[in-house]
Amino acid sequence: MASFGYVITAMVTPMDRQLAVDYDRAAALAKRLVDSGSDGLVVCGTTGESPTLTDEEKVRLFRTVREAVGGRAKVIAGTGTYNTAHSIHLTREAERAGCDGVLLVNPYYNKPSQEGLYQHFKAVAESTQLPVMLYNIQSRTSVNCEPATIARLAEIRNIVAVKEASGSLDQMSQIRKLTPPEFHLYSGDDSLTLPLLAVGGTGIVSVAGHLAGREIKAMIQAFQAGDVRQALGLHLRLWPLFKVLFITTNPTPVKAALALAGFDVGGLRLPLVEATAKEREQIAAVLKDLALLPVAA
């Protein structure tokens, strides 16, 4: 089964002044991201404020983004929840909406065992024909899907990738060692994309792709072409952006950055809040250094 691409941007969800989903702006953002280097888009992931979106909003976003980008990029629906039956329902809706795959996060809060994780992901994968990307992020879910469990899951026909956000290159290396070459390993942290490539990774599920998709793709392509020096140069140039986009809870900084860069996507639903004046100042300084602010700013 084909890869989802190299640069997959985890899309924010644009909101209007009343914090209703702005579907027109979502379509415009999707086109903008594909035009600027994204091979794929995750819709309604954590960066898209999935915990505060209704099922109806999610399904409409799936359809909106699918229609906006056509066949130019993969559309990957965030359908994972801590409820297996609910995850199956959303996954089937994503398939009906024409998505190219689904992203399934570790069930959060209820802390399943490794066997529970395996059975959850297996049940959701078996409910769909779509390819599945696992999303392993212990910092948000309280559980780590261990390499041995990921290797078991990789034996299931349509579980084809993992977004690995443990922050551990040791764990990433172990996953790469235990899984077949055709199983794709994506970084869940922009700052670890280049190191992950060195241990057999495919690419990145990115937040910084909202602002620097072309350069991130150029970094990956340079590494694949054997030009490690160029790849390192791009990594170090983008490093401040990678870090400043996580000075507070994602997606607060990236929404602020997009507004500063001239593409306002609105505010955030509680319990998330907008960036402080100090945080916006830090973000603006990095964007200015990278020439990402509008010319008149």
pTM score of the predicted model: 0.96
Catalytic residues: 135, 163
Residues with pLDDT less than 70, the chain: 1-2, 295-297
CB atoms within 10 A of CB 16: 13
CB atoms within 10 A of CB 219: 27
Measured CA to CA, the distance from residue 180 to residue 198 in angstroms comes to 17
List the structure tokens of 24: 């027109």
Phi, psi of 205 (to 5 degrees): -95, 105
Query: Could you tell me which of 55, 52, 61 has the C-alpha nearest to residue 270?
Result: 52
Give pLDDT, residue 3. 79
Measured CA to CA, the distance from residue 58 to residue 32 in angstroms comes to 20
Domains, the chain, ordered by start? 7-235 (3.20.20.70)
Give pLDDT, residue 297. 45
Give pLDDT, residue 2. 52
Give pLDDT, residue 292. 97
